[in-house]
Amino acid sequence: MKNKHLTARYLSAFKARDLIPLHCDLCNKSFKRRKNNVVYKGRSRKNIFCSRKCLALSKNKSKTLSCANCNKSVIKKQADIRKNKSSNVFCNKSCAATYNNTHKSYGIRVSKLEQWLKEQLTTLYPNLIILYNNKTIINSELDIYIPSFKLAFELNGIFHYEPIFGKKKLAQIKNNDDRKFQACLENNIELCIIDTSTHSYVTPKTSQKYLDIIINIISLKSK
């Protein structure tokens, strides 16, 4: 809502130092300001902004858009919008990362073990819906997810337990694992974590034990 209510009659009801309810002409934020800072030569100023930041942005021909992830209002300069190769804008780096990970359609790393398990499970359970490397259920990738059982499997390799790429990277992986586990709890999904850190070469013989774990759990759920 803009400041169309600031008519001369409306303003006459306020004294010079009274606070008047306003809306920023750029971000539409509600705020209050003294009458003597709003009125110029008996009339309200043409443009009213809630802060110096909005005033500066308005001079740079900025535009208010919505964050593609959380829908929060985002003010962007026209120059930045033109530079943006994507039509999406984000309010912060966290929202950008969440959106891009969820909507990623390329570069999904699938291990040879995961691919082998997918082939075996597809053959063993042709009538069971099984989702692989799905990111839409909890906004984070689940290696294997069976909707009818609300059952998920994560195949955690050595990178989840050893600082192969450094301690900082390991901490990030562990933090992501914790958030994924919490998200499954909140969505009533049973998450089964399978430690594959000792698995090095993919052959039917070396991979069968991981398949057996999954088969046994599915059998228990099917009873």
| Domain boundaries defined on the chain | 1-59, 63-103, 112-222
Instruction: Specify the residue for token string 């002409």.
Output: 25
pLDDT at 107: 39
Express each pLDDT in 84-135 by its tens digit: 666 788 888 777 766 765 555 443 456 889 999 999 999 999 999 999 999 9
Q: How far is CA 94 from the centre of its chain?
A: 7
CATH 3.30.70.1450 fits 112-222, yes or no: no
- pTM above 0.95? no
Express each pLDDT in 44-80 by its tens digit: 777 888 888 888 777 766 677 888 888 888 877 766 7
CA gap 156, 136 in Å, rounded:
20
Question: Dihedral through CA 163, CA 165, CA 166, CA 169, nearest 10?
Answer: -90
Helix (H, G, I), strand (E, B) or coil at 33: strand
Instruction: Specify the residue for token string 């008996």.
Output: 42
Taking the CA atoms of the chain, what radius of gyration do you get in angstroms?
A: 28
Express each pLDDT in 13-22 by its tens digit: 788 888 888 8
Letter for the amino acid at 31?
A: F
pLDDT at 57: 76
